[in-house]
Amino acid sequence: MGNTPTAPTWAVEDDAGNAVYSASGHVMTTPSAGPWRDSHFHLRVKVISGQLHLYFRQMQCGSYFATLDGGPISLMRMVGCPANYTNLQTASTAFSLGVWHAIDAVAVGGSIKLYLDGALAIDYVDSAPLLLGGIGLEALPDDSHVHVDDIVVTGPVDTQPLSWVRTGGPYGGVGYDIRMRPGNPDRLLVTDNASGVSLSSDGGNTWVPSNNGISTRTGDSGDAIPVFCLTVDPNNPDVVWAGAQNTRGIYKSTDAGQTWVEMDNGIVEKNGITFRGFTVDPRDSRTVYAAAEISSTVWAGKVMTGEMFDLVKGVVYKTTDGGANWRAVWRGDNLARYIWIDPRDSKVLYVSTGIFDREAANSDPVANKPGGVGILKSTDGGATWRVLNQANGLNNLYVGSLFMHPTNPDILLAGPGMRSTPTRKACIFPPMPAPRGGAPWHRATWSTRRMATRSQRWNSPSPIP
């Protein structure tokens, strides 16, 4: 046998007088050896039940792996966090359960070969290969039982650290909004809660910071520029609105993002407020709504966490003088996410509340009550609001995504759900088209996975469901 696997749920077990590694249940192990570039990974495997994933060139957010499950062997590639999976090739020969097999994975540059009992089963050339990483073994699902023996990896261990080349994009934080100038798709604006606003004039090939006038600074070193959201005025693309994260800060540009002016008179929160988006009245650019989140540090005076995330409230601010003055037109027990204005009547508004990684202030994690608000509707420009919730067929009140039909404003598409603990199993109810301006809602798809809808769009050119 080779090095002992690091996971404590792997054990040494007797198999016909031979001591082998054994895993029962869903078990993952990643030995600390490596990493390798060009390598030959050999082992003997007996899958008694379930399946085994054999990982190589494994990094934090990428790996190749072979599936050994009683059917044909498949070579898979996993890239990204969260992961995206691609089946690169499937062998014509099957991997049999209950018997020992010799497996060899040979990776040289972009060439990947898998051998089953000495015979070539997979021969694949990756044009954009993963070139470096370690090895790993994963037995699954929960009722699996796997034996492994004679693990050997040959090839030079790569001791040279990876190097990064700056391509000119914004420095890493949370990039939340990407905005394209109408009529000129090469001109882009992107937000980043560490580097602020970045501007591209060549379709994203090169970027330059564009924060002249944005004075807000945060972060451990006091130099982060926490711009979180951007909105281009649909009536005048030279006018752009920007909102800050976790601190008071609304900025307006009248030269397409080149320079900015702070315009947050009337915003009462100094810290702990995050602006998640702006909506401009399609008939009057002087009227703008700002959707925001208020942290528990503000409304409770201390950090309050639910099952997983901060317990937040929400607020909608409105200006009718182009940002010179703002006033709150709604406050409630979950963050405000999207605001839509009926283009036929600017007094008709819809606001979605909640998102997948925040919890409502009115939730009760002890009693397993998720709380939430749902969708708000106003017919008087925000003076009063009606809540659209369970009574209207909206079974989940965390509505992280809301879109209006492009030709029929009476139809809206809502994507609710939030990520939390297993006590909330039915957490995704997307999307739900709602005729007659929000009532009643009809569920279009359903899942019991612990997921949440982040975005959806109308299908073009025929968006009518």
- For 295-352, how does the pLDDT look when each residue is reduced to its tens digit (9 = 90+)? 999 999 999 998 889 999 999 999 999 999 999 999 999 999 999 999 999 999 999 9
Instruction: Look at 44-58, 225-239, 292-306, 441-455 and tell me which has the smallest mean pLDDT.
Output: 441-455
- Distance set, CA 210 to CA 174, 226, 276 (Å): 17, 13, 20
**Closest to 66 in 3D by CA, of 36, 35, 45:** 45
Q: What is the pLDDT of residues 52-111, one digit of tens each?
A: 999 999 987 789 999 999 999 999 999 876 678 899 999 998 999 999 999 999 999 999
Q: Highest mean pLDDT range out of 7-16, 60-69, 201-210, 342-351?
A: 342-351
Task: Give start-end residues of each CATH 2.130.10.10 domain in the chain.
Answer: 178-434
Rounded-to-integer distance, Cα 414 and Cα 327, Å? 27
pLDDT score for 406 = 87
Q: What is the pLDDT of residues 393-415, one digit of tens each?
A: 777 899 988 999 888 998 888 88
Instruction: Look at 4-8, 118-122, 330-334, 342-346 and tell me which has the smallest mean pLDDT.
Output: 4-8
Residues 375, 394 contacting (CB under 8 angstroms): yes
Residues 138, 28 contacting (CB under 8 angstroms): yes
Residues 357, 307 contacting (CB under 8 angstroms): no
pLDDT score for 158 = 81
pLDDT score for 61 = 79
pLDDT at 178 over 80: yes
| Band (425; pLDDT cuts 50, 70, 90) | very low
pLDDT at 416 over 90: no
| CATH architecture assigned to 10-154 | Sandwich (2.60)
Which residue in the block uniquely carries the two structure tokens 């994203």? 204
> What residues contact residue 87 under an 8 Å CB cut-off, 6+ apart?
74, 75, 76
| Band (460; pLDDT cuts 50, 70, 90) | very low
Report pTM: 0.61
Task: Give start-end residues of each CATH 2.60.120.560 domain in the chain.
Answer: 10-154
pLDDT score for 40 = 95
Mean pLDDT over 411-436 rounds to 54
Q: What's the whole-number average pLDDT of the chain?
A: 85
Where would I find the H helices in 185-339? 296-299
In the chain, what percentage of residues exceed pLDDT 90?
Answer: 60
Q: Please give the backbone phi and psi of residue 296, each rounded to the nearest 5 degrees, phi first.
A: -60, -25
Mean pLDDT over 8-33 rounds to 85
pLDDT score for 49 = 94
- Distance set, CA 158 to CA 3, 40, 165 (Å): 19, 14, 19
**Helix, strand and coil percent figures for the chain, each rounded to 5:** 0, 50, 50
Quick one: fold of 178-434?
Methylamine Dehydrogenase; Chain H (2.130.10)
Q: What is the pLDDT of residues 131-172, one digit of tens each?
A: 889 999 999 888 899 999 999 999 988 877 666 665 555 566
pLDDT score for 166 = 58
Mean pLDDT over 423-434 rounds to 37
